[in-house]
Structure 1
Amino acid sequence: MSSYADRLKALREQLKADKLDGFVVPLTDEHMSEYVGSYAQRLAWLTGFEGSAGSAVVLPQEAAIFVDGRYTLQVRQQVDGKDWSYQSVPETSVADWLTEHAPEGARIGYDPWLHSRDWVKKATEALAARGAELVAVEQNPIDKVWSDRPEASKAHLAAHPEKYTGRSSADKRHEIADWLEKQGADAAVLSALDSIAWAFNVRGEDVARTPVALAFALVRSDGTADLYVNPEKISAEVQQHLGNGVRLHDRNAFESALGELRGRTVAVDPERAVAAIFEALDRAGAKIIPVRDPTILAKAIKNPVEIAGQKSAQERDGAAISRFLRWVEEEAPKGDVDELKASDHLEALRREDPELRDLSFDSISGAGPNGAIVHYRSSEKTNRKLEMNSIYLIDSGGQYLDGTTDITRTVVIGEPTAEMRDRFTRVLKGHIAVATAIFPKGTRGSQLDSFARRPLWEAGLDYAHGTGHGVGSFLSVHEGPQRISPVGSAQSGGDEPLRQGMILSNEPGYYKTGEYGIRIENLVLVVDHPVVGAEKETLGFETLTFAPIERRLIAKETLSPEELAWLNDYHAQVVEKIGPRLTGDDLAWLEEACAPI
């Protein structure tokens, strides 16, 4: 279909044929993934929205799209306001909107393989207040009208060796078995793709930028497991890697396998397993224990091998970033560098590393006003030149076999204004406040979030995203359960206690609509941080990311002596760690960019 308006019209006609008065369209897949394969990009196909979080509702006469503060600008650029009303999350939820807008007596459809059980319960209650009902569909109506919908990936799985994981799959599965015994359960459902990748020490190519494979799994209380994955994706090498303790089945057999668990006690994660899984177990007569996926915390707490790999990956990545920043400084003033050329050049530098398998997300390469779009994605249509006397923001990362990176740097082309320097320095002060934080064990990310915001709040400023997210080990660049974000924000998880071994981002920012965006992002590791005379055990952060921070944007006079000392010490570490990986003009540039101020 030639236009998004045509697609919306076709969906409405299909809903009428299906005797539905509306349909809810989330941006997820059967695994509740944040990033999904092309076959599951239903929201993007229908609306044009390309962000990583959102949902939509289509009714006969109106339609709405729901996004959080990260996408306020982006959604207005990509989605036609004539056809869609823009709704802000969490201020307005899908359930709230349906309560106000669903016709009385309406039948609103949903795909039970794309929603959580909790969402279904809330939406059902909201619609009941209108005398309307929520109706599960057997086939997604979008799939009926999406004529050229891509097939699911058929890429092979790959074994991820112990030299990177630090633990065998058998060891991880037996740990899950021990946990099941304590829960009094016979099996655990693993439906999150990164949980399966971690538990079985496999990686895949089924989702762009995230090395996971489309699969479901049941881990049993005896340490054995059933893995449901399309057979053509399994090589002899991977089958040998999985061993006799893992039984292989077709992915399509997963739902029927749930039906065979009558009388069994099954642990299922309500946050990560779709409603259809719960419904299949209920029909089978299984006893369900709703509890968090047992891999989540174990995956988040990195072991020494994973930490060492991450540090190595960060240093190699930092060398590529440093070479890139030098290139931008020298080439942008000539007037020939645009957003796409810049991000392509950075990707080429990263791909010189033989350990790189992919980027960890589509680079956010924002020049001038495009940098104010938090999760901006440059295209031929929006591409801008890096102009003189403007700010350029580049948020990017790599998927290396030994680690996942995520770094943001903000640079000035030409001369900054006093306001630019003030805003950048406030963001830097917030970044330093998090980097140097010392906190008692049991502290949650939500308790640290305001550390980063205080310098901005003092000027009546703020930013509409979390301060930090967890990061995987050659896995998802956004990994829970840890976050540094306000409780109740769209980026949930800010109330998870931080534990030694967790990796998070530290990325405060500031965005002036129509002018520029600023963000400084490093990854940090939660480490033991003893305090002399302390009455409690204390933790702190070790910075893992090393690349120059733009000194021309720093208002030195507003930094405290402690902040200035941190900055100069950080830059000294950048030279120490990255310098040996550079030569010639690149090394000379790095030493100058990191000179004390």
Structure 2
Amino acid sequence: MFQSFDPVSDRSYAAKHLPLLRAEMKKRGLDGFIVPHDDEYQNEYIPAYAERLMWVSGFSGSAGAAIVLMDRAAIFVDGRYTLQARGEVDDAFFEYESIPDASPEEWLAKNARKGWRIGYDPMLHTTAGLARLEAAAKRAGFEIVPVEDNPVDAAWADQPPRPSAKIRPHPLEFAGKSSTEKRREIAAAVKAAGADALLVTAPPSIAWLFNIRGGDVSRTPLPLGRAILSADGAASLFVAPEKVDNALAGHLGDGVDIRPEEAAAEAIRALGGKGAKVAVDPALAPAQFVRLLKESGARVIEIPDPCALPRACKNDAELAGARAAHERDGAAVTRFLYWLASEAQDGSVDEITAAKKLEALRRETGELVDISFDTISGAGPNGAIVHYRVNTRTNRRLQPGELFLIDSGAQYRDGTTDITRTVAVGKPTAEMRDRFTRVLKGHIALATARFPEGTTGHQLDAFARRPLWEAGLDYDHGTGHGVGSFLGVHEGPQRIAKTANSQPLKPGMIVSNEPGYYKAGAFGIRIENLVVVTPPEPVEGGERAMMGFETLTLAPIELDLVVPSLLSEYERHWLNRYHARVRQTLAPRLPKDVADWLTRKTRAI
């Protein structure tokens, strides 16, 4: 199994570890210390050694931060993790704060006293994030102090070692464009920005730019490292030597100089010594690197990561791979749903058994490289925890009369998948069916949206929420996130959410469509498909070409939870067409008993 179900954190961590951290803070003359859920690369999913926030607080989610003062501490999470944080973090030691209602810098401005020294690790904070902290410090009169060695690392006696997985070439058949061509295009963008070189600090961009993949981070095939790309197209890749073999050197060719990762700081100083103009993304670059550039004499040019947008806009080969991956994955998920319908209706199956079964079915494809995130397998009230991660302590049986939500995904060499299905165990209540149908209506509204060039996901978010809003309901997470090509299951710069986002949706972008509804203590509902933005096309009788979405994900949607009378004729037509496509595409891949079941589950309504 790729995933383990042993508890990864403990509510006692705060009581055990806060005194150790405070002792290290005292040695450094600090009145407080900021602990983000970030590694030195700003990854979402981070290596075990970088789980500093979990070690300090017990919180095991993928986004958050803590502030530890000598006499109090606070944990900051967003709506995805509100319930999880309360379950994992002991409120005898931490105050709960909700983002965006509160932020670490605002909390410090209210609670740090004048003259206090608040420490931070400059490798874990970006220049953009640090600027917000410094502004708060200036207003409130406390001092933000960089530390040379992280006090959490000093206090963490059994901290895991840093990963050193081999770096693998990503074949052209999947990448669709050579690394040489990519480097040439990005170098031109660097030159157009008036820079002599680009400092690339984000592993997803390094993986995309050099057509490489790694295994340093679970669930995402990333090689940890740094890179510098010159405006003339020459590049240096900084990675640990043990990750490199002859195959990698041959793949990269003479245009790429491979050097140890610790040499990156020296190379940064060398750029400064030449007075070079260096482009960096202030939202991604560690503050320490930007400080090194400036102190050594470089001129820093702040630009958005020029690799991010072309990485997000998948080319024809990547889209072909995504379609193939979703057909393969859809067959595995459908076999799993058949198993649920056949063997999990009597209360004998639990959340861990279900997650293991789904992973096993994906393994049977012979193409599974990893899962794309730890499976969210939530029965009954656990389904209401948006990013619930089952373990042996929380494991619950799928009981008749309840809902079961399973959100899962896979990493295949040709594509990354992410799908959520909610099913009824036994007979659902009228409330469950009403809420499910409203979520489905929102899902259909987004799936069928037509929109002009320049439209952002922020402008489309309300399409998915309106059926819930009409009933006085909502959900506290985004409606859609970008997805990589055998890369991160969460990928920017695009997203669909209430929060403002200036990035327009562009053809080739893959994004999730996942409205939901969650009744705390009772059940959760989410319907998630991945979709790809389609090129502008004329609309009959219209004046402007419109873009739209092509649905990639293929698996039945639970008809037993649908109230047909709540659907319009247009919505029923969409659901019937989608199910016909699911049936026609997947049935040939399935055993006869599963195919027969699928035919019944995708009947027209």
TM-score (ref. length: structure 1): 0.98
Q: Secondary structure at the match of 1:16?
A: helix
Q: For the residues of structure 2 that align with 1:186 and 1:127, how far apart are their CA atoms?
A: 34
Q: For the residues of structure 2 that align with 1:75 and 1:138, how far apart are their CA atoms?
A: 30
Match of 1:41 among 51, 54, 62: 51
| 1:353 corresponding residue in structure 2 | 365
CA-based RMSD of the aligned residues comes to 1.0
1:230 and 2:256 aligned: no
1:399 and 2:407 aligned: no
Q: For the residues of structure 2 that align with 1:130 and 1:73, how far apart are their CA atoms?
A: 31
1:464 and 2:476 aligned: yes
Q: For the residues of structure 2 that align with 1:388 and 1:123, how far apart are their CA atoms?
A: 50
1:238-278 per-residue CA deviation (whole Å, 9 max, x = no partner) reads: 11101110001110111121111121111100111111111
Q: For the residues of structure 2 that align with 1:517 and 1:590, how far apart are their CA atoms?
A: 24
Q: For the residues of structure 1 that align with 2:138 and 2:177, how far apart are their CA atoms?
A: 49
1:433 and 2:445 aligned: yes
Aligned 8 A contact 2:13 2:58 in 1: no
Aligned 8 A contact 2:13 2:56 in 1: no
Q: For the residues of structure 1 that align with 2:177 and 2:586, how far apart are their CA atoms?
A: 29
Match of 1:549 among 554, 557, 573: 557
- Mapping of 1:175-254 within 5 angstroms? 175-254=185-264
| 1:568 corresponding residue in structure 2 | 576
Instruction: Give, in angstroms, the shift of residue 30 of structure 1.
Output: 1.1
- One-letter amino acid of the structure 2 residue matched with residue 406 of structure 1: D
Q: For the residues of structure 1 that align with 2:142 and 2:189, how far apart are their CA atoms?
A: 42
Q: For the residues of structure 1 that align with 2:59 and 2:343, how far apart are their CA atoms?
A: 32
Instruction: Give, in angstroms, the shift of residue 586 of structure 1.
Output: 1.1
| 1:445 corresponding residue in structure 2 | 457
1:90 and 2:100 aligned: yes
Instruction: Give, in angstroms, the shift of residue 64 of structure 1.
Output: 0.2
Instruction: Give, in angstroms, the shift of residue 342 of structure 1.
Output: 0.2
Instruction: Give, in angstroms, the shift of residue 167 of structure 1.
Output: 0.6
| Bigger mean CA deviation after superposition, 259-268 or 53-62 | 259-268
- One-letter amino acid of the structure 1 residue matched with residue 587 of structure 2: G
Q: For the residues of structure 1 that align with 2:231 and 2:135, how far apart are their CA atoms?
A: 36
Instruction: Give, in angstroms, the shift of residue 126 of structure 1.
Output: 1.2
| 2:385 corresponding residue in structure 1 | 373
- Mapping of 1:471-510 within 5 angstroms? 471-488=483-500, 494-510=501-517
| 1:296 corresponding residue in structure 2 | 308
Q: For the residues of structure 1 that align with 2:87 and 2:528, how far apart are their CA atoms?
A: 25
| 1:455 corresponding residue in structure 2 | 467
| 2:117 corresponding residue in structure 1 | 107
Instruction: Give, in angstroms, the shift of residue 537 of structure 1.
Output: 2.3
Instruction: Give, in angstroms, the shift of residue 533 of structure 1.
Output: 3.0
| 1:491 corresponding residue in structure 2 | none
Query: % of aligned pairs identical?
Result: 55
| 2:84 corresponding residue in structure 1 | 74
Q: For the residues of structure 2 that align with 1:65 and 1:167, how far apart are their CA atoms?
A: 43
Instruction: Give, in angstroms, the shift of residue 84 of structure 1.
Output: 0.3
Q: For the residues of structure 2 that align with 1:327 and 1:119, how far apart are their CA atoms?
A: 47
1:70-102 per-residue CA deviation (whole Å, 9 max, x = no partner) reads: 111000001101100000001111000001111
Instruction: Give, in angstroms, the shift of residue 67 of structure 1.
Output: 0.3
Q: For the residues of structure 1 that align with 2:220 and 2:294, how far apart are their CA atoms?
A: 32
Task: Could you list the structure 1 runs, at least 4 aligned residues long, displaced by more than 6 angstroms after superposition.
Answer: none
| 2:3 corresponding residue in structure 1 | none
| Bigger mean CA deviation after superposition, 178-187 or 190-199 | 178-187
Q: Secondary structure at the match of 1:440?
A: coil
Aligned 8 A contact 1:104 1:131 in 2: yes
Q: Which runs of 5+ in 2 are unaligned?
A: 1-9
Q: Secondary structure at the match of 2:336?
A: helix
Match of 1:526 among 514, 533, 541: 533
Match of 1:423 among 435, 459, 463: 435
Instruction: Give, in angstroms, the shift of residue 40 of structure 1.
Output: 0.7
| 1:580 corresponding residue in structure 2 | 588
TM-score (ref. length: structure 2): 0.97
Aligned 8 A contact 1:441 1:536 in 2: no
Q: Secondary structure at the match of 1:552?
A: helix
1:148 and 2:158 aligned: yes
Q: For the residues of structure 1 that align with 2:436 and 2:443, how far apart are their CA atoms?
A: 10
Q: For the residues of structure 2 that align with 1:90 and 1:173, how far apart are their CA atoms?
A: 37
1:492-548 per-residue CA deviation (whole Å, 9 max, x = no partner) reads: xx3310111111000000000000000000000100232123222210000000100
| 2:598 corresponding residue in structure 1 | 590
Q: For the residues of structure 1 that align with 2:164 and 2:183, how far apart are their CA atoms?
A: 26
Q: Secondary structure at the match of 2:271?
A: coil
1:431-465 per-residue CA deviation (whole Å, 9 max, x = no partner) reads: 00000000111111001000000000000000000
Match of 1:515 among 509, 515, 522: 522
Q: For the residues of structure 2 that align with 1:3 and 1:317, how far apart are their CA atoms?
A: 38
| 2:422 corresponding residue in structure 1 | 410
Q: Secondary structure at the match of 1:533?
A: coil
Aligned 8 A contact 2:129 2:283 in 1: no
Aligned 8 A contact 2:538 2:544 in 1: no
Q: Secondary structure at the match of 2:370?
A: strand
Q: For the residues of structure 1 that align with 2:505 and 2:141, how far apart are their CA atoms?
A: 44
Instruction: Give, in angstroms, the shift of residue 132 of structure 1.
Output: 1.1
1:284 and 2:296 aligned: yes
Instruction: Give, in angstroms, the shift of residue 580 of structure 1.
Output: 1.2
Aligned 8 A contact 2:13 2:55 in 1: no
Aligned 8 A contact 1:267 1:289 in 2: yes
Q: Secondary structure at the match of 1:139?
A: coil
